[in-house]
């Protein structure tokens, strides 16, 4: 496995923030965190559980209104 290369954040993204919205699965979350860090973004992780019928229709259906911003 090759060593990770050192990357510099894009000046266009300087000071940008990102939300990482997941259902809490570690694999999904880790990949998103890696991308945010590579891009030099400050980020906030938001875990949104998929409950009941909203989970059945994910990712195409609406979110549970109780989970909205």
Domains in the chain: boundaries: 13-53
Q: What is the pLDDT of residues 11-60, one digit of tens each?
A: 777 788 999 988 888 888 999 999 999 888 999 999 887 777 777 776 77
d(CA 47, CA 20): 8
Give the bridge partners for 55, in sequence order: none
**N-to-C CA span, the chain:** 41
**Long-range pairs, 50-55, Cβ under 8 A, ≥24:** 50/23
d(CA 32, CA 47): 12
Sort strands 17-22 and 42-47 into parallel, antiparallel or unpaired. Answer: parallel
Question: Which pTM was predicted?
Answer: 0.59
Q: What is the pLDDT of residues 41-53, one digit of tens each?
A: 999 999 887 777 7
């Amino acid at each position: 496995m090759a060593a990770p290369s050192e990357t510099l954040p894009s000046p266009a993204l300087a000071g940008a923030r990102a939300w990482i919205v997941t259902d809490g699965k570690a694999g999904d979350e880790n990949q998103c965190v890696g991308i945010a860090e590579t891009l030099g973004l400050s980020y906030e992780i938001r875990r949104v559980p998929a409950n009941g019928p909203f989970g059945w229709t994910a990712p195409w259906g609406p979110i549970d209104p109780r989970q909205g911003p």
